[in-house]
A and B are shown apart, each in its own frame.
Chain A
Amino acid sequence: MGLTSNQAGRCVFAGKTTISRSNNAGCKVIALAGNPNVGKSTVFNSLTGLKQHTGNWPGKTVSNAEGRYKHKDKTFIMVDLPGTYSLMANSMEEEAARDFLCFGKPDCVVIVTDSTCLERNLNLVLQIIEITGKVVVCVNLIDEAKRKKIKINCSVLSKCLGVPVIPTNARSGWGLMELMDAVYDVSGDVAAVAPVNISYDEVIENAIAMIQPKIYSLIGNKINSRWAALRLLDSDDTFIKVLENYLDFELSDNAQLLEAIKAAKEYLAKNDICPERLHDMIVSRLVQTAESISNAAVIYENKHYSRTDKRIDNVLTSRLFGIPIMLCFLAIIFWITIVGANLPSRLISDFLFAIEDKLTDISMSAGLPKWLYAVTVQGIYRTLAWVVSVMLPPMAIFFPLFTLLEDVGYLPRIAFNLDNFFKKACAHGKQALTMCMGFGCNAVGVIGCRIIDSPRERLIAILTNVFVPCNGRFPTLIAVSAIFIGGRFGGAFASFASTLALTAVVLFGILMTLLISYILSKTILKGLPSSFALELPPYRKPLIGRIIVRSVFDRILFVLGRAAIVAAPAGLVIWIMANITIAGTSLLAFAANFIDPFGKLLGMDGYILMAFILGLPANEIVIPIIIMSYMSAGSMLEIESLEDLRQLLISNGWTWLTGVCVMLFSLMHFPCGTTLWTIKKETRSAGWTLAAFAIPTAAGIILCTAVAGIARLLGLA
């Protein structure tokens, strides 16, 4: 759901493991690690001030972001690693996190843990401590623990782990000063750390001893040789390649080392420890250690601490109510958005068009050339004003509401509710999560698909993400459904009817997502669904103030800024096209007339189709372009309310069928420029990008043609 410049790909450096130190002399590099959904991004944002979007569901940080902060006399570069449960390299993300921790040489690793679920989090803490001892453990969400009557004895925890442990509540900023102090001390070697040593069974320890000295003599202290020995025993030979890659020398040529590894593996085999069993034993020891530390440091004063969560889940994901409640939430959000956006939309447009009058007066009295006035005010300014007044109110209402659901922890429940449908479509369960991200912005949804490990299922999720309407398309859907569906009923039922229509459109989008996923996995992307485990995080109390601030700054301003950047030149292009005439017809009319028959076939017209094409850079500007085109064709000059817009559209031949087809086509057409660019980057393939362009467009053309054809055949329109 997050739409920040960060996630749209600016600060992304997935796969990069070293921070260039020459430019950052004297800076300390801090790695931020932790399980998914423990508030890592909140810690990152609070410290660095960067707007990495946060939400209450696993896998939010899908690429490494970096930011800086100053504490005392030093500058710290903080690298936000992907949230992982382990570092055993089961996935690309775990590999990236492991490689940075091991070879990126951070001066300190901050491990953020969830205090309400400490035992499981300790597994990762122990794995990281095995790599480097320069660790500060941050026991986050301490307020949630208090609420659940879970007591954590940080000094005992610190003694058990041998590293500093700092309780924090990052959402309110509590404890962050102490955290920065601890990081300062550990990274500057002021505080001595004595990390706990995890010892394994005697046989494994003997095997480690057979190779550790060989590794040490080769690479010295570059990386922890005990850890490297353990990994060489545990994993296949690919880890040698990783070592070579990062340490820049040939290990596979080193006969002595290879000999030693072989001997150690034989020794293990002789003692009945096959590779699978070795891995089990290593993991088991880590889990057992985590369990015993947790038993020593955590007191559950209320044995039924998670009972409330279970009760809520019993309702929200129940067989009878799970899906109806989900639809209700969606409909309520739409209803509030539709009802609430009306008045502010009118006020803003009144205000902005009053400014236009002032601008007109000023430019007249200043003696501005007529063409310049027309280009800037009637072209650029008016389109901008339209984008702002059409876009801003629904966004300002929709975003905070959706963020609220996200913050509380409801989105993973949606994935839980819908998983069986995705399984039947041979798709990954986490696709439901990336789909939810798409509601905010499809480009973010596409990047989010990195949480899916299987390449086949990831591609399916990327190709179908555009079937859920992003916030850029919601205003179009809202306006059209309010005019042509709500408008037909009038009175009290109007908002109700348009809410139903909007919900139906979104449902239809989800249905298409499933259908297309199914078709893809039966044709060009054949395969069976891979395994997955979805965490349902504890519900958390939302912080309303923070949600509002965050939606305004992280999302609304960013989206609006992007829309404005695209709208201004688009307004210029439209104005030019509308005002340059060849043989009596404007360029715009000429182009629109040219594609008009095709537009008619789809139940729309040439101008609408043109608007979709010109709206490629950003879907937000589709409705404003339609308005601009109709107005430049000369029927009306000012629009003050939705009613005026209705009149304008109807006078240009819109019927309910046009409305339905515009909504369908808005739901299903080529992704916007940003999304296409992101798909190209994510798939590294022009072919798949083309497929992402063609599939929804084809679906939209087929459906609109069918709907328009049938409606006309039946004489309904």
Chain B
Amino acid sequence: MKKTFLPLNDLPIGKKAKVKLLACNGPVRRRMLDLGMIADTEVEALQKSPSGDPVAYGIRGAVIALRSEEASKILVEANVL
């Protein structure tokens, strides 16, 4: 098991990861924080929509769909075999 950093939109479905960095500013950053995405929050990639984007993520007990533009700005740390 090795820890790697990757943008959230690259997290495979069914995998969990920890939020490490929000690479966005202004309103987008505020919105992500409001969803509870602070450092070390666990997120799980749950389900792709039929066209592959957006993707539904499990965040603090809620299911939130994010477009790849937003998800790519969230850096997470995941265990990869």
Contacts and interface: CB of A to CB of B under 8 A. Distances in A.
A675 B41 CA distance: 44
Nearest to A528: B69
A449 B48 CA distance: 26
Contact of B67 (A86, A317, A429, A537): A429
Contacts of A199: none
* Most chain A CB neighbours (cut-off 10 Å) among B29, B54, B70: B54
Contacts of B50: 317-320, 322-323, 417, 420
Given A117-B61, A284-B39, A533-B70, A90 B47 contact: no
B29 to A, nearest CB: 7
Contacts of B60: 117, 119-120, 291
Interface string B38-81: 11010000111111111010111111111101100000000000
B67 A276 contact: no
If over half of A's interface residues share one DSSP class (helix, strand or loop), that class is named, otherwise mixed; here it is helix
A321 B62 CA distance: 24
Interface string B1-40: 0000000000000000000000001011111111110110
A178 interface: no
B54 A276 contact: no
A534 B61 contact: no
A119 B60 CA distance: 7
A541 to B, nearest CB: 18
A447 B38 CA distance: 33
Nearest to A282: B33
A118 B36 CA distance: 12
Nearest to A298: B61
A280 interface: yes
Contact of B30 (A116, A279, A534, A536): A279
B53 A531 contact: no
A172 interface: no
A406 interface: no
A313 B38 CA distance: 26
Contact of A416 (B58, B61, B65, B70): B65
B30 A88 contact: yes
Given A120-B36, A314-B47, A317-B49, A90 B27 contact: yes
Nearest to B35: A533
Interface string A387-430: 00000000000000000000000000000110111010000010
B61 A119 contact: yes
Contacts, number: 123
Contacts of B65: 416, 419, 429, 533-536
B27 A531 contact: yes
A287 interface: yes
A267 interface: no
Contact of A120 (B25, B48, B49, B62): B62
Nearest to B67: A423
Contact of B34 (A123, A288, A309, A314): A123
B34 A90 contact: yes
Contacts of A320: 50
Contacts of B53: 419-420, 423
B19 to A, nearest CB: 11
Nearest to A319: B50
A290 B64 CA distance: 19
A423 B46 CA distance: 21
A421 B49 CA distance: 11
A88 B31 CA distance: 9
A410 B39 CA distance: 32
B62 A535 contact: yes
A298 B33 CA distance: 22
Interface in A275-296: 276, 279-280, 283-284, 287-288, 290-291
Contact of A280 (B33, B36, B48, B59): B33
A371 interface: no
* Most chain A CB neighbours (cut-off 10 Å) among B48, B52, B67: B67
A317 B47 contact: yes
Interface string A290-331: 110000000000000010011001100111101100000000
Nearest to B51: A420
B33 A283 contact: yes
B6 to A, nearest CB: 20
B38 A416 contact: no
A85 interface: yes
A284 B34 CA distance: 9
A319 B39 CA distance: 32
A420 B46 contact: no
Contacts of A529: 67
B45 to A, nearest CB: 12
Contact of A123 (B36, B47, B49, B56): B36
A537 B63 CA distance: 7
B56 A536 contact: yes
Contacts of B48: 319
Given A317-B47, A322-B49, A419 B67 contact: yes
Interface string A545-571: 000000000000000000000000000
B34 A534 contact: no
A45 B51 CA distance: 38
A279 B33 CA distance: 9
Nearest to B47: A313
A537 to B, nearest CB: 8
A88 B34 contact: yes
B30 A533 contact: no
A533 B47 contact: no
B54 A120 contact: no
Contacts of B52: 319, 420
Contacts of B33: 279-280, 283-284, 287
A420 B49 contact: yes
Contacts of B29: 276
Contacts of A118: 61
Contact of A531 (B51, B59, B63, B67): B67
B34 A417 contact: no
A313 B46 contact: yes
A147 to B, nearest CB: 15
A538 B64 CA distance: 11
Contacts of B41: 287
A310 B63 CA distance: 10
Contacts of A319: 48, 50-52
A280 B38 contact: yes
B53 to A, nearest CB: 5
A416 B56 contact: yes
Nearest to A415: B65
21 contacts: A86-B34, A90-B34, A120-B35, A120-B62, A287-B36, A287-B41, A288-B38, A291-B60, A318-B50, A322-B50, A416-B49, A419-B53, A419-B67, A420-B50, A429-B54, A531-B27, A531-B28, A532-B67, A532-B70, A534-B54, A535-B62
Given A118-B61, A309-B63, A417-B49, 6 more contacts: A86-B30, A283-B33, A283-B38, A419-B65, A533-B66, A535-B64
Which 10 A-B pairs give the minimum distances between C-beta atoms?
A: A420-B51, A322-B50, A86-B34, A534-B65, A536-B63, A283-B33, A284-B38, A117-B61, A531-B28, A85-B34
